[in-house]
């Protein structure tokens, strides 16, 4: 008590560096718990008085000493959480005394550096992450995504993509996450396509209409690549995401089958027909043409498409059973040969484009192989 009383008399005449050192020493003594009850109460009063110190250096010293301790006086932590940016960031980023409710309240009104400090906490709960995703600035959302200690729900990822998906730094941070849900990866690709279609350079070079088409084609290709990187158990979720967005079109399914993405095609048929996975899987693997045609019609696909799709499935079955070697080039050729009847011109044009793309890709691969062997 005597020491604290002396401190309170001395503090009015001490310099900034001395007051900062004293704030650190008194804080450490308080946290160590070696003070008696009366001395502890007096020390707490003195520490509380330091909150009004005109020098930010003194208050920062106080924050540095108390921010990580569970024994710090809660009223001091609460006050420093509302101090200037450097002090508030330290406390809000570290203090174990602050609850989710405290942190969520601060996120809503804090400047960007303070939001980032909250997003970088050693552990961020799912509710706090949701708050940052909803009201945080872009830099805070990026910090959240990069924080390995953050528990982020799929809906929070989607919200951040909706708000800041046009930013390359956010897309890159999300795409580095192995745990990012497949539908969120697709949304990122869509955002990238939208950004590309609005590119002044691209529009100046090829025109606005062609820029939009090129961006759409790039998104479709990226979505198909995404299917390859999506675990089979997540195909159903990706299918539902595409279906709700209106992107699970006949053209997309044709591209999927042409590219050998049969597991994904099966998941799409399950969603579109309501049949069981086991039944659909059996038909794709061993079903006769008549049964396959009925399944495709049940999925809402035009009857004129059935011959081409069934022809592709036959080729992929042979590949799976090692009866032949084939790829997209051979499959699309078989699909073109199977197309017949009116109303197939548009589909034939699509399959022909896929076939030509496959020819170019194979030619490039062959040229690289020759160059590598030379």
In a domain, 286, yes or no: yes
For residue 237, the model assigns a pLDDT of 84
In a domain, 233, yes or no: no
| Average pLDDT of the residues of the chain | 87
H-only helix segments in 182-233: 182-197, 200-206, 208-229
End-of-domain residue from the set 142, 168, 194: 168
Residue range of the domain that includes 127: 99-168
The single-letter DSSP state of residue 99 is: -
The mean pLDDT value for 338-345 works out to 76
In a domain, 162, yes or no: yes
Q: How many domains does the chain have?
A: 3
For residue 144, the model assigns a pLDDT of 97
Within this chain, do residues 370 and 271 fall inside the same structural domain, yes or no?
yes
pLDDT in tens, 84-120: 999 999 999 999 999 999 999 999 899 999 999 999 9
- CB within 8 A of 287, min separation 6: which ones? 295
The Cα 280–Cα 295 span in angstroms is: 8
The mean pLDDT value for 327-339 works out to 92
Within this chain, do residues 373 and 321 fall inside the same structural domain, yes or no?
yes
Within this chain, do residues 285 and 372 fall inside the same structural domain, yes or no?
yes
In a domain, 139, yes or no: yes
The Cα 251–Cα 301 span in angstroms is: 10
pLDDT in tens, 244-294: 778 888 989 999 999 999 999 999 999 999 999 999 999 999 999 999 999
Buried-state track 301-310, b at ≥16 Cβ within 10 A, e below 16: beeebbbbbb
Within this chain, do residues 360 and 274 fall inside the same structural domain, yes or no?
yes
> 3-state SS of the chain: helix, strand, coil percent to 5?
75, 0, 25
How many CB atoms neighbour CB 215 within 10 A? 20
Judged by DSSP in three states, 124 sits in strand
pTM of the model as a whole: 0.66
Within this chain, do residues 121 and 163 fall inside the same structural domain, yes or no?
yes
The mean pLDDT value for 222-228 works out to 79
pLDDT in tens, 45-96: 888 888 888 899 999 999 999 999 999 999 999 999 999 999 999 999 999 9
Q: Return the closest-CA partner of residue 174 out of 153, 162, 188.
A: 188
């Amino acid at each position: 008590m005597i020491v604290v009383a002396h401190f309170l008399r001395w503090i009015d005449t001490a310099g900034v560096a001395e007051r900062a050192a004293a704030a650190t020493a008194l804080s450490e003594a308080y946290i160590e718990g070696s003070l008696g009850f009366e001395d502890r109460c007096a020390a707490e009063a003195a520490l509380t008085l330091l909150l009004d110190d005109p020098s930010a250096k003194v208050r920062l010293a106080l924050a540095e000493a108390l921010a990580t301790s569970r024994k710090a006086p809660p009223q001091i932590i609460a006050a420093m959480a509302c101090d200037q940016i450097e002090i508030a960031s330290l406390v809000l980023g570290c203090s174990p005394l602050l609850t989710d409710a405290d942190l969520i309240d601060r996120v809503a009104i804090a400047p960007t550096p303070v939001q980032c400090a909250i997003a970088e906490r050693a552990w961020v709960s799912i509710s706090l992450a949701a708050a940052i995703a909803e009201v945080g600035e872009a830099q805070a959302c990026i910090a959240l995504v990069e924080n390995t200690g953050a528990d982020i729900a799929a809906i929070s990822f989607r919200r951040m993509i909706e708000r800041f998906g046009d930013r390359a730094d956010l897309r890159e941070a999300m795409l580095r996450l192995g745990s990012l849900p497949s539908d969120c990866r697709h949304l990122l690709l869509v955002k990238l396509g939208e950004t590309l279609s609005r590119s002044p350079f691209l529009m100046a070079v090829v025109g606005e209409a062609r820029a939009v088409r090129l961006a759409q084609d790039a998104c479709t290709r990226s979505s198909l690549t995404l299917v390859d990187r999506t675990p089979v158990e997540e195909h159903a979720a990706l299918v539902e995401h595409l279906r709700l967005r209106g992107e699970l079109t006949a053209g997309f399914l044709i591209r999927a089958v042409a590219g050998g993405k049969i597991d994904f095609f099966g998941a799409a048929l399950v969603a579109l027909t309501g049949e069981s996975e086991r039944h659909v899987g059996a038909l794709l693997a061993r079903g006769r043409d008549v049964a396959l045609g009925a399944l495709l019609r049940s999925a809402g696909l035009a009857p004129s498409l059935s011959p081409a799709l069934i022809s592709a499935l036959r080729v992929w079955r042979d590949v799976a059973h090692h009866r032949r070697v084939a790829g997209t080039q051979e499959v699309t050729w078989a699909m073109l040969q199977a197309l017949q009847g009116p109303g197939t011109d548009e589909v034939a044009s699509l399959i022909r484009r896929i076939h030509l793309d496959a020819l170019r890709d194979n030619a490039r691969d062959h040229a690289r192989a020759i160059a590598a062997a030379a």
